[in-house]
Structure 1
Amino acid sequence: MKCVKTQDAVGHVLCHDITQIIKDVKKGTAFRKGHIVTEEDIPVLLSLGKDNLYIWEKTEGILHENEAAEYLRDICMNENMIQSEVKEGKIELIAEIDGLLKIDVDKLRAVNSLGEMMIATRHTNTTVKKGDKLVGTRIIPLLIEQEKMEKAKEVAGDRPILSLIPFKKKKVGIVTTGNEVFYGRIKDTFGPVVAEKVKEFGADVIGQTIVNDDIEKITKAVEEFIEQGADMVLCTGGMSVDPDDKTPGAIKNTGARIVSYGAPVLPGAMMLLAYYEKDGRELPIVGLPGCVMYAKRTVFDLVLPRLMADDMVTSDDLAGLGLGGLCLSCDICTFPNCGFGKGV
């Protein structure tokens, strides 16, 4: 830091805030630290009584906050994102599309542990809309060692910490089971709920098949949708452990790979997730518990965005939903802007 005459400060970086006070009109910061002085600033600065300014001296190996902020941008930024302007050592990234936001949580923690810099993101596996803010970054001091920013790049590795995966246009088949529905004793109210949820992600429901509690017929209905080109099959009904609930066994009989029957989420503990291999692709088959029909938000709302983005869900992923997996059934639902399904 050195002191120079204000007229000689053009192109230099201020090392401190400069306050402007106009009686009964204004009291605030006219120029913030880190501001690069322009020719137009000189008269204003002189009017504020600043005949001299303290400016940053360029030193080899030392970065200004705005230069260092670009390191954090590069660590975070991926496809389908745009950046804000660099200001006071801060850069934000904005979603350019609707999609599924994923965060490398371990790398995020590692970079934030270095000190003098910060990256604050939304939760991982969050559904975002075009224009949503994804992350805010900031360099804490005005000046920082370049070596430290290079260390941050090394810790983050070759791949950005954030990724934004677009949702795929999927064809969905719905298999509804239950003697009470099949024989017309009650009206099906489950299928319409599920159809509405997948349509929110741009999916096409190619059909709904209603079958009775016959394990072979349920299996056949699932397989027929796959043959018709369904990218995903959702099964409603028959998902508890009662002897006449045949859906889990029917899904297993398709030969699909069972990821998990059960998830540590309430509502939604009885969900079954499986993947059926066809032509080199793994197509999700989901057995949905009855709560999806009447509860505002369930395990299905946590898993569906990932399925729509072709983001493979593992048994470990499901196990991790236990932390934050209790929906509080608030009178006014604010999901996804709440803790449900957020975990660490």
Structure 2
Amino acid sequence: MRLIKTEDAEGHVLCHDITQIIPGKFKGRAFKKGHIVKKEDIPVLKSLGKNHLYIWEMKENMVHENEAAEFIRDIVMGNNLKSGEIKEGKIEFISECDGILKVNRESLLEFNMLGEMMMATLSNNVPVKAGERVAGTRIIPLIIEREKLNHAKEILKNRSIVQVIPYKKKKIGIVTSGNEVYNGIIKDRFGPVIEKKVSEYGCEVIGQKICPDDTEEIYNAIEMFLKQGADIVCCTGGMSVDPDDLTPAAIKRTNADIITYGAPVLPGAMFMLAYKENKTIMGIPGCAMYNRITVFDMIFSRTVAGEKLSLRDIAEYGDGGFCRGCDECRYPNCGFGK
């Protein structure tokens, strides 16, 4: 830093806060550290007794924190995001739609290892709402070398670090199995639960079929909904390993590609995921009927965002896949599924 005359300070960056005192009225910061002096600031500064100022020497290869934050914003921010106001080299990113937040974790790590700049995000694959803040970045020093910014751009290679994938409206078929429900001994509770959950994503339930514990009838119901144009068939009931739990066998009979039968998530271990061409079939365990959030919620949200999950995607839920069972559920504002 160096000392210059105040009248020569236009365009320079202040190295420290400047306090203003008006007896009996005001005492506080008139100009913040990092402020770029404007022409109209000069008489105000002189009225505060500042005939000389300490300023940063803005060499040709140096960039002010706010300009640097704009540069970083343009290389890390992906689709369906907007940026907030830049303050002191900090900028936040806000979702423009309901959807799934996607974080390129490898790129985020590379970026944060560069030094003099940082970025923090919500967890990868977390559901977000329109207007929700999902990430932020900040330049650490007041000024930063342009070469450092260009290196960050080179490292990322046009790969945004964060983006939001919007939900797409899907048609849902529900297949419920169980002799006790089919024969009217007990009332079906699965259908209303699934219908409520999928409606929160703007999806349409095209029908529900209640079947006895019979592999053939469950299979026929699944195929019926697929032919009727269902994008996702949710199969409820009969997902355990008891002899009369026949839903997994019925799903396999459709010749769908079985991704997994079982998931490292509690509640939700007995979950099944399968794909038949561009259609999705889910075997939903009984816990979805009485637990507010289960593996179904995590997988369904990504499915309606257009993802086709692999076995690895499912296996990765083991880290964070244990629900604490809080008295007041705060999902997705918790560690479950992260």
Same fold (TM over 0.5): yes
The range that moved more, 197-206 or 127-136, is: 127-136
Does the Cα contact within 8 Å between 2:219 and 2:254 map onto a contact in 1?
yes
Q: TM-score, normalised by structure 1?
A: 0.94
Q: Is the 8 A contact 2:12 2:58 kept in 1?
A: no
> Partner of 2:42 in structure 1?
42
Cα distance in 2 between the residues matched to 1:27 and 1:269: 61
Q: How does 1:18-57 map to 2 (within 5 A)?
A: 18-22=18-22, 25-57=25-57
Task: Provide the residue aligned with 2:302 in structure 1.
Answer: 306
CA distance in 2, matches of 1:180, 1:135: 49
Q: For 2:58 and 2:323, locate their aligned partners in 1 and report how far apart those are by CA, in whole Å.
A: 53
Does the CA-based 8 Å contact 1:267-1:326 persist in structure 2?
Answer: yes
Deviations 1:255-298 (A, max 9, x none): 11111111111110000011111xxxx21110000000001111
Task: Count residues in correspondence.
Answer: 338
Contact 2:34 2:142 in 1 (8 A): yes
Alignment of 1:251-330 (within 5 A): 251-277=251-277, 282-330=278-326
Q: Distance in 2 between matches of 1:34 and 1:138?
A: 14
Distance 2:25 2:137 in 1: 33
Following the alignment from structure 1 to structure 2, what is the Cα–Cα distance between the partners of residues 19 and 333?
A: 47
Q: TM-score, normalised by structure 2?
A: 0.96
Q: Which residue of 2 aligns with 1:124?
A: 124
**Deviation at residue 139 of structure 1 after TM alignment:** 0.5
Give the deviation of 1:242 after TM superposition.
0.6
Residues 31-52 of structure 1 show CA distances to partners (whole Å, capped at 9, x for unaligned) of: 1222122233223322332111
Structure 1 residue 141 corresponds to structure 2 residue 137? no
2:208 counterpart letter in structure 1: Q
Shift of 1:97: 1.3
Partner deviation per Cα, 1:141-196 (whole Å, 9 max, x = no partner): 11212222122112222221112111001110000011111111110001100110
Note if contact 2:178-2:213 (Cα within 8 Å) is conserved in structure 1. Answer: yes
What per-residue deviation string (whole Å, max 9, x for no partner) do you get for residues 86-126 of structure 1? 22111211111111110001110111011111001111111
Task: Confirm or deny: 8 A CA contact 1:71 1:153 kept in the other structure.
Answer: no
* Structure 1 alignment gaps of length 5 or more: none
Unaligned runs of 5+ in 2: none
Contact 2:90 2:136 (C-alpha < 8 Å) held by counterparts: yes
- Pair 22,315 (structure 1): closer, same or farther in 2 beyond 3 Å: farther
Give secondary structure in 1 for the equivalent of 2:12: coil
Amino-acid identity (%): 59
CA distance in 1, matches of 2:129, 2:23: 45
What's the offset of the Cα at 1:201? 0.3
Determine if contact 2:287/2:294 at 8 Å carries over to the other structure: yes
Alignment RMSD, CA only? Answer: 1.5
Q: Structure 1 24/212 Cα, relative in aligned 2: closer, same or farther at 3 Å?
A: farther
Q: 1:1-344 alignment to 2 at 5 Å?
A: 1-22=1-22, 25-277=25-277, 282-342=278-338
Letter aligned with residue 289 of structure 2: M
Whole-angstrom distance in 2 between the partners of 1:50 and 1:81: 42
User: 2 CA distance for matches of 1:334 and 1:41?
Assistant: 48
Q: Offset at 1:24?
A: 5.9
Mean Cα displacement is larger for which, 48-57 or 333-342? 48-57
Q: Distance in 2 between matches of 1:336 and 1:84?
A: 23
Q: Distance in 2 between matches of 1:23 and 1:109?
A: 50
